[in-house]
Amino acid sequence: MPQTLAAPATTFRPNVLRYDEHVFVLRHRLDGRVWQEDETWFVQCEELDLTVWGESREQAEEAFAFGFYAHYLNYYLADDSQLAPDALAYKSQLHGLIRVALHLS
């Protein structure tokens, strides 16, 4: 069985996230971590239950920004009547987290 090479985890603590033309200014820094296993980089934020990966740290961080944007679209902007109780709780969590959401065009 091949051995997995893992680099020690480092912190990932953004308070601003950018995806395409969208910028999210957060009320506090996220408490996440970044690590590498073999040729794959991972970014994880337990607060958001979000784990992503990429071929480089930069790609993994870009994937995290995309994942955050997807959560913004699917929860933050969703009509309450479309969401289950646990999704409503998560939407409330996102509303408490995002200070400003900007669309730059």
Mean pLDDT of the 51-67 span: 98
How far apart are alpha carbons 46 and 17 in whole angstroms? 16
40-55 residue pLDDT tens = 999 999 999 999 999 9
Asked whether 8 and 34 are in contact (CB, 8 A), the reply is: no
Report residue 50: phi and psi, to 5°.
Answer: -130, 120
What tokens appear for 79 in the block?
């009509």
19-37 residue pLDDT tens = 999 999 999 999 999 999 9
pLDDT at 8: 76
How far apart are alpha carbons 104 and 58 in whole angstroms? 22
For the question of whether the overall pTM of this predicted structure is more than 0.75, the answer is yes
